[in-house]
Chains A and B, each alone.
Chain A
Amino acid sequence: MNQVASTNVAPSLYRRSARWLWIAPAVFLVLILVIPTTAIILRGATFEGFRDVLNNSTIKQALWFTAWQALASTALTLIVALPATFVLSRFTFTGNRALQALITVPFLLPTVVVGAAFLAVLPSQLHYTATALIVAHAYFNLTVVVRIVGARWEQLHPGIEQAARTLGASPFAVFRTVTLPLLRSALATASGVIALFAFTSYGIVRTLGGPGRATIETEIYTRSVLIGDMPGAIALSIVQMIVLTALLWWWAKRHRDTSESPQISVAQRSPSTRGQIALVYGIALATAAVVIAPLSALVWRSLTRTTPGATRFTLSGWRAVTSSTTLSAISTSTLFALCAMVIATVLGLMVALGVAYGSPRFVWLERISVLPLTVSAVTIGLGILITYDTTPYDFRSAWMVTPLAHSLIALPLVVRIVLPVVRQIPRGLQSVASTLGATPLQTWLTVDRPLMSRAIGASAAIAFAISIGEFGATSFLTRRSSETLPVTISRLLSRPGDALRTQAYALCVIVVVISMIAIFLIDMLRPSRKAK
């Protein structure tokens, strides 16, 4: 069937109704994002204050540590992920797809859970060290390399490498002189993304970092919530905003430059020689083990208690899960996630429809809906905390504020998923429907809505998963009466005592299961290539 949309770009059928769609998302973004970040900038924008803060030795140390751990995390991620990327993009083998999916799992887990999993799997000498932190960051970001570099690697024609071989290059020389230069741009993009994540890492650092291992993000938390040094916290979040905006700007520019039309993968083949089989399955199994180990350690540690000299089996951690505090955390998290899911999906849908069908001037709406990405979750939390703490209405202590912050964080992703799908719906289908007597509303309900229902479902699941695991903004906004699961886990892990730990691990297992269900739904609902 011919898929060309009608060539004449007439104003959309929905232009009239789309005119009003910008209002709700714009009000939301102004209230939850623009006003709070402006408040931060206004309060912190004195040069002297800035200088004092940046001269503070603890803060200097945090800045330095943030930067070098981000670089080290990036390097380690590349080292661990490249063999797996090679195997996954170059060979077809039993379990290829399963391994791809498995490597995605850590990235989708709540960061606090990733931190907890490394407390569970690493020997206690390594707890609260820079090494633990860097290893956990590498674990979390494996999939970034596999996806970005793998996509490029798959497209390299094997003929190029074979040509180099016939010209006398050894396999290693081929890699160094041909493959690596061709992958350079993808490697740089992936490194940029990983560095960004490591730079703004918060949940993992709070769980694994410990004293003296503060990053900008955790230092903002310590200063604003624990020691009450607001000017310091504000100055740090301004630094963070500047760095993030610069990194994202660089990344967006680079992304535009290097965007290539997708090609069909030509390079994949089955491993043929014995050596290849050993190499492929060896790397695949080792990578799978690396991904699975911390998760199984979580399960194991939720069922055991270690006393000096002995490890014994216990269900006390799981029994404690049924205590009223943890049950209330589970119900709070579920309630927040459901609210965030509805709000983010509805607002994201309004943005997507407004941009796709409204007047061309609505492009600004798409641009500002990406803004939450340039502000870290911690900054969003801090901003709301300092903006809405006074009369007329103490919005900060309303329970709704946390799911609203979660919706803000999920919004850019929802727009990213839904907007391309809306844009791909051929205008001709809408014209046909109206010649067949459908009103604009009937057309939307009978043509557009069914064509985008999978995308809507996938974004709802993503918003749910983000909210369940969100820790950065939540840790600023949470109240004792309405703790979420990540906050409870973090609190249990920060207190001494093996019993509390066992309980935290049990909760982590629950969060992993909930996230897995959400991830599974996302995968099922991902817009298929056929449905256009």
Chain B
Amino acid sequence: MLALTDITLNYEGRTILNTACLNVARGEIVSLVGPSGSGKTTLLRVIAGLEQPIQGTVVIDNKLMTGIPTHKRDVGLVFQDNQLFPHLCVFDNIAYSLRIKRVSKALQIEKVNEMLSLIGMEDLARRDVGQLSGGEAKRIAVARALVANPLVLLLDEPLTGLDAEMHDRLLDDMGALLRARRTTVVHVTHDHDEATRLSDRVVDVRTLGQSGVQLQ
């Protein structure tokens, strides 16, 4: 489903990834771990097309992504700090991608309500996003990325900053949700425990490059 080949990345003038390769199968959940500054987040941004690698290619669903802008890649990205649209309510945040794709009003309502019930937040549809708790905001951010059924879902430290109880509950809920939908996921975290609990496979980002280790 997703294939990264020979990706080289610079960050602030220093090479952080050298000829990295990674393959992710359809419906597989892969966690990338590694210390901060090791290029995990940048790699996600490269997959999303928000950043260009120095060299290397990204292939999603057998299509070469070089030169394809973010909005045509059909990926979902959940940011560490959620980045909910402050001018839109919960419902409109989730409906955003459906609206952009000019999905009919009726279908929008159906799909958003389905997402809301999946994350257990039906009664918050018209809530201002500024009034959400950290856990609620996170659920909305995941729902917003999932509603359009992206080919690959990218999760950037999705559970950082939540208290322990909320972290564990959300981790289980999210895992169940992603598996039920057979979503292909690349998950970035510095928390090994979180990685093993969520994913099918844990990869240390430092082993992706240089040594030429190929991970299938």
Residues of A near any B CB (own CB < 8 A):
1-4, 6, 8, 10, 13, 426, 428-429, 431-440, 442-443, 446-447, 450-451, 530-532
Contact = CB atoms under 8 A, between A and B. Distances in A.
Most buried by A among B69, B75, B86, B96: B86
A451 B77 contact: no
Query: Which 7 pairs of residues, A with B, have the shortest CB-CB distance?
Result: A2-B81, A436-B97, A434-B70, A428-B83, A435-B77, A434-B71, A450-B87
Given A2-B161, A446-B100, A435 B137 contact: no
Interface string B36-64: 00000110010011110000000000000
A530 B96 contact: no
B79 A436 contact: no
Interface residues of B, number: 41
B158 interface: no
A425 to B, nearest CB: 10
Nearest to A449: B87
Contacts of B42: 8
30 contacts: A1-B86, A3-B81, A6-B79, A8-B45, A8-B51, A10-B51, A426-B83, A428-B83, A431-B48, A431-B50, A432-B79, A433-B71, A433-B85, A434-B70, A434-B71, A435-B48, A435-B71, A436-B145, A437-B72, A437-B74, A437-B148, A438-B97, A439-B69, A439-B71, A440-B71, A442-B71, A451-B87, A530-B130, A531-B86, A532-B86
Contacts of B72: 437
Interface in B116-151: 129-130, 132, 137, 144-145, 148, 150
A10 B48 CA distance: 13
B156 to A, nearest CB: 10
A181 B130 CA distance: 42
Interface string B143-168: 01100101000100000010000000
Nearest to B76: A435
Contacts of B48: 431, 435
Most buried by A among B41, B87, B148: B87
A112 B192 CA distance: 72
Contacts of B154: 435
B181 interface: no
B51 A442 contact: no
A432 B83 contact: yes
Given A429-B83, A437-B100, A1 B132 contact: yes
Contacts of B41: 8
B44 to A, nearest CB: 10
Contacts of A435: 48, 50, 70-71, 73, 75-77, 145, 150, 154
Contacts, number: 98
Contacts of B113: none
A1 B130 CA distance: 7
A376 B41 CA distance: 51
B101 interface: yes
B82 interface: yes
A433 B42 CA distance: 18
Contacts of B79: 6, 428, 431-432
Nearest to A13: B70
Contacts of A440: 71
Contacts of A3: 81
A68 B88 CA distance: 55
B84 interface: yes
A432 B143 CA distance: 13
Contact of B81 (A428, A439, A450): A428
A437 B71 contact: yes
A313 B203 CA distance: 90
A3 B130 CA distance: 11
Nearest to A1: B137
A433 B51 CA distance: 15
Contact of A10 (B45, B76, B80, B130): B45
B129 A1 contact: yes
Nearest to B48: A435
Contact of B100 (A1, A438, A451): A438
A63 B69 CA distance: 62
A6 B44 CA distance: 13
Nearest to A428: B83
A432 to B, nearest CB: 5
Nearest to B51: A10
Nearest to A431: B50
B52 to A, nearest CB: 9
B35 to A, nearest CB: 16
Contacts of A530: 130
B84 A437 contact: no
Most buried by B among A2, A8, A443: A2
Contact of B83 (A431, A446, A451, A531): A431
Contacts of B137: 1
Most buried by B among A6, A435, A439, A447: A435
Nearest to A435: B77
Contacts of B73: 435
Most buried by B among A433, A434, A446, A531: A434
A442 B101 CA distance: 10
Given A2-B161, A437-B74, A439-B71, 13 more contacts: A1-B81, A2-B81, A4-B81, A8-B41, A429-B85, A431-B45, A432-B83, A433-B71, A435-B48, A435-B70, A435-B77, A442-B100, A530-B130
B203 to A, nearest CB: 21
Nearest to B137: A1
Contact of A451 (B84, B86, B144): B86
A438 B82 CA distance: 17
Nearest to A450: B87
Nearest to A432: B83
A446 B101 CA distance: 13
Contacts of B69: 434, 439
Contacts of B75: 435
A56 to B, nearest CB: 60
A365 B143 CA distance: 41
Most buried by A among B50, B83, B144: B83
Contacts of B50: 10, 431, 434-435
Contacts of B130: 1, 530
A4 B99 CA distance: 26
A8 B84 CA distance: 18
A453 B70 CA distance: 26
B140 to A, nearest CB: 10
